[in-house]
Structure 1
Amino acid sequence: MAERKPIESWLTDMDGVLMHEGIPVPGADSFIKRLRESGRPFLVLTNNSMYTPRDLHARLARIGLTVPTENIWTSALATAQFLDDQRPGGTAYVIGEAGLTTALHDIGYVLSDADPDYVVLGETRTYSFEALTRAIRLINDGARFIATNPDETGPSAEGALPATGSVAALITKATGQHPYFVGKPNPLMMRAGLNAIGAHSETSAMIGDRMDTDVRAGMEAGLETFLVLTGLTRPDEVERYPYRPSSVVDSIADLVDRI
């Protein structure tokens, strides 16, 4: 690979990189501490749109990881910024949790089921048949279809849970309309995050545990990419993809000395 400029800013996924099933990955605390002490711009990213940055700050603090709210970037925030750029002051019918509804309220969007500009689908643990039916009818009537992220399943202690991508597929099957996914692997989420912290792709790196979202999004946004093996992608799976990360490391602990 071509030689890159030194890394001046860092983006890192949360689940599978900093924590796994609610437990911090060894070395994650040292990595975050080193980042904060260095003064380098950084963001912790997540495709999960359920939580606000304040929620995630508290969740991480409970396991010993101190990440300021301004250093947390979610697919909900990226979706809100995208909608604000596309149609400022618009209206949306939202299926999702506080992370998404708060982000839309903060940009001045009105949440309504009366002829909205958009149907916005996010993550929730309480998808209702009534809400999905309403979304389908609104899309059939002309509302534009947006989804926060394409993840088909999410992790839990009991096993896989259906996630936004699976529910989006149901709506697509019923309407014939495909959503625009804002979250990873869309590099838009990365670029918006870099802009939020005043960073540049040629001097930034992305750390993730998934080849199909984290590494792909980082690569397409022009970042140096690090795959850690503490999450979903196994070592034997890396070679199956037509693209490669810049580096593969065992865990985020191996990157502390890079800061």
Structure 2
Amino acid sequence: MSERKPIEAWLTDMDGVLVQEGVPIPGAAEFLGKLKSSGKPFLVLTNNSIYTARDLKARLMRMGLDVPVESIWTSALATAQFVDDQRPGGSAFVIGEAGLTTALHDVGYIMTDVDPDFVILGETREYSFQALTKAIRLIGNGARFLATNPDETGPSAEGPLPATGSVAALIKAATGKEPYFVGKPNPLMMRTGLNRIGAHSEVAAMIGDRMDTDVLAGLEAGMETFLVLSGLTRQADVDKYPFRPTHTRASIAELVDLV
């Protein structure tokens, strides 16, 4: 393995790395504190498109984790930037929550169910049969199909919940149209995040708890990768994949001294 340059910027997943079911993971506050005092650019990433960056800042602050709004990068923000780059000032039929609709409004997008440029699917706890039917018909009539992220399930205290990837599969089955997923593991989300903080992949690191999204996205974006075992992935799972993280650690606590 070729020797990498010193890490000058950090990207980290949120769930399973910094927090777990609403509770901070030991070492998370210390890691974030070191990042802020070091002056190194960093981003906290999430594929969850439900919340705005301001919402997430407030939620993290209640857990004792202080993350600036400008250091939060969601799949909703990445999706809004993508459509603004592809078709500025366009229109979309959106299934999702405030995190997604606010991001799209902020780039000047119009929300409509009349001949939209895109159908954009995001995370919501209230998937509507009527909205899904409308989305299927609009895609059939030529609207381009986007989804914020491919995660098939999301966590909850009661067990897994159907997430964007599962609902996207339903729409794909009904339309025959593949969605374009903007969020992890698409390296686009990582590259736009790096651009946001003015960092280069050669001197950046990605921390995550999932091989199939976090590590893969970091690898494909050209970053050094750290897999932490405090979330979904176990050590025994790593060998099931044809790629490996650069490093594996028990938790974020073991990375504090690297900042």
Residue equivalent to 1:120: 120
Letter in 1 for 2:53: P
CA distance in 2 between counterparts of 1:210 and 1:150 reads: 13
Specify the alignment match of 1:256 in structure 2: 256
Asked whether 1:241 is paired with 2:241, we answer yes
Letter in 1 for 2:27: G
Task: Tell me which amino acid in the other structure corresponds to 1:143.
Answer: A
Report the Cα distance in structure 2 between the residues aligned to 1:193 and 1:6, rounded to whole angstroms. 19
Following superposition, the deviation at residue 150 of structure 1 comes to 0.1
Instruction: Number of aligned residue pairs: give it.
Output: 259
Amino acid at match of 1:69: V
What amino acid maps onto 1:190 in structure 2?
A: M
Q: CA deviation at 1:255?
A: 0.3
Corresponding residue for residue 130 of structure 1: 130
Unaligned runs of 5+ in 1: none
The two structures have a TM-score, normalised by structure 2, of 1.00
Q: CA deviation at 1:254?
A: 0.3
* Structure 2: distance between partners of 1:14 and 1:70: 15
Partner of 2:81: 81
1:142 aligns with 2:129: no
Matched residue type, 1:58: A
1:232 aligns with 2:226: no
Structure 1 residue 37, shift from structure 2 partner: 0.5
Measured in 1, the distance between the counterparts of 2:178 and 2:213 equals: 19
RMSD: 0.3
Runs in 1 of length 4+ with deviation above 4 angstroms? Answer: none
In the alignment, which residue of structure 1 is the partner of 2:64? Answer: 64
SS at match of 1:240: coil
Q: Secondary structure at the match of 1:207?
A: strand
Counterpart secondary structure, 1:193? helix
* Residue pairs, 1:19-168, within 5 angstroms: 19-168=19-168
- So what's the TM-score if we normalise by structure 1? 1.00
CA offsets 1:132-164 (integer angstroms, 9 cap, x no match): 000000000000000000000000000000000
The one-letter code matched in structure 1 to 2:86 is: Q
Displacement after TM superposition at 1:99 (Å): 0.3
Match of 1:193 in 2: 193
Query: Residue type of the partner of 1:56?
Result: L
**Residue 78 (structure 1) shift:** 0.3
- The question of 1:11 aligning with 2:11 is answered yes
**Using the alignment, how far apart are the partners of 2:109 and 2:53 within structure 1?**
19
Offset of residue 202 of structure 1:
0.1
CA–CA separation in structure 1 for the residues paired with 2:11 and 2:59:
19
Identity %: 75
SS in 1 for 2:130: helix
CA distance in 1, matches of 2:237, 2:12: 21
Unaligned runs of 5+ in 2: none
CA shift at 1:209, angstroms? Answer: 0.1
* Structure 1 residue 86 displacement after superposition: 0.3
Q: Report deviation, 1:36.
A: 0.5
SS in 2 for 1:93: strand
Aligned mates of 1:236, 1:5 — CA distance in 2: 29
